[in-house]
Structure 1
């Protein structure tokens, strides 16, 4: 299967304007932009044919080309990264069997998350889209709950059936557990890792579907697939001792920099 990774990036984020150009300092103090760190994560994935940044902003284009990325300019009317990926694939002439949306706010994404995701989609011919889920330990789950108590939207959680088909995704912490977690290594809550692998036909169809009520309420693009009866496969991935977090809010910058220092990542 030919694989394309698209990193969608927009400047005009509602919650965090200019987020792709925010700088993060690694273990040695070297500062690199969020979009560059996300591109580096994409370039470390094995078995990929091409990596591109998809944006509607000239500032992001200039920054990405300066560190060597290939850039596809897309419309400024798209409301999410999946729509932007669909246009980017079309502009590149199509032809890729699997298109991976590696969102530009997850610079700590280990390469095996994406490799396992692609393998999961390949192994399930009925799945049209796949996305990774990571079982929360007690400390991570407590972080989710703390964000919600403070009125912040932090990580997204996922619930799925025995067949790994997604039942729902939410910015609330689901399922409800009714207890406080300490340092337990495993909890019943799964962190949805914001990466998607699409088959080309499903991705091409996506922009033509109207956003449904659940997508509008949650602000989660993957719910559009579910609201249109498409099967979303949840692929469980393992952290292997690696810390993982997305940059959702300005408060996450020191959190990510601390993680990079602890993992000795530049």
Structure 2
């Protein structure tokens, strides 16, 4: 199965303009841009996969080409990473498209490998995405963001067959703060997707959904149109996973990097 990993990146983020070019301190004291770190994370995925940055911005293009990335130019009309990946379809040859969003440099390679394996084993699956059970530290990061009025990571709920029921920027399901169970029944949605090309093409034919617009979550368009999103549970293997959603997350990620 020929796989292409696309890294959609836009400059005009509402919450964090210029986010792909944000510089993060490394353990050795140097800095790297978020887009370069995500590119390097994609290179760690096992297998011979094409890797491309997909953007509409010349600044991101120039930066990415500067560290050796292949860049696919897309239009400024793409409203989210899935639409940008769909726009790039005509520029790649692949049986499977992986969307590794440019704000998740801490994504372990085995998260992506688990998605690819799931799609290889289940020919009926059209879209798949990872979910990660929250440990106490991650759950507290979620609740801290909400207490401070920040929109942080995304949580997911799914049925017994691991089919997504809903994704939200709220912390779901609700847990009584005085009765936090172990293990914690909250799953962090990891913003990586694997799509069949036909699923991507169908996505662009549907209007933006009401829930998608309210939550600002692109994957809800699939659910709102009656299409299954397969959730693949992954294990962080002791590593902290977090995306760069807000400027406040820079310090969190740098702490993981040991900077």
TM-score, normalised by the number of residues in structure 2: 0.97
Identify the residue that residue 130 of structure 1 maps to in structure 2: 128
Match of 1:201 among 195, 198, 208: 198
Identify the residue that residue 147 of structure 1 maps to in structure 2: 145
Distance (Å, rounded) in 1 between the aligned partners of 2:108 and 2:45? 8
Matched length: 259
Matches within 5 A, 1:67-106: 67-92=67-92, 95-106=93-104
Root mean square deviation of aligned Cα: 1.3
Contact 1:38 1:106 in 2 (8 A): yes
Deviation at 1:49, TM superposition (A): 2.2
Distance (Å, rounded) in 1 between the aligned partners of 2:179 and 2:96? 38
Structure 2 vs 1, CA of residues 181 and 254 (structure 1 numbering), >3 Å: closer, same or farther? farther
Contact 1:15 1:249 in 2 (8 A): yes
Identify the residue that residue 192 of structure 1 maps to in structure 2: 189
Runs of 4+ in 1 over 4 A off after TM superposition: none
Distance (Å, rounded) in 2 between the aligned partners of 1:118 and 1:90? 21
Alignment partner of 2:221: what SS? helix
Distance (Å, rounded) in 2 between the aligned partners of 1:233 and 1:118? 12
Structure 2 vs 1, CA of residues 54 and 174 (structure 1 numbering), >3 Å: closer, same or farther? same
Deviation at 1:121, TM superposition (A): 1.9
Identify the residue that residue 219 of structure 1 maps to in structure 2: 216
Deviation at 1:122, TM superposition (A): 1.9
Contact 1:5 1:48 in 2 (8 A): no
Structure 2 vs 1, CA of residues 160 and 8 (structure 1 numbering), >3 Å: closer, same or farther? same
Structure 2 vs 1, CA of residues 29 and 2 (structure 1 numbering), >3 Å: closer, same or farther? same
TM-score, normalised by the number of residues in structure 1: 0.94
Contact 1:175 1:188 in 2 (8 A): yes
Deviation at 1:185, TM superposition (A): 6.5
Distance (Å, rounded) in 1 between the aligned partners of 2:224 and 2:117? 25
Unaligned stretches of 5+ residues in structure 2: none
Deviation at 1:178, TM superposition (A): 1.1
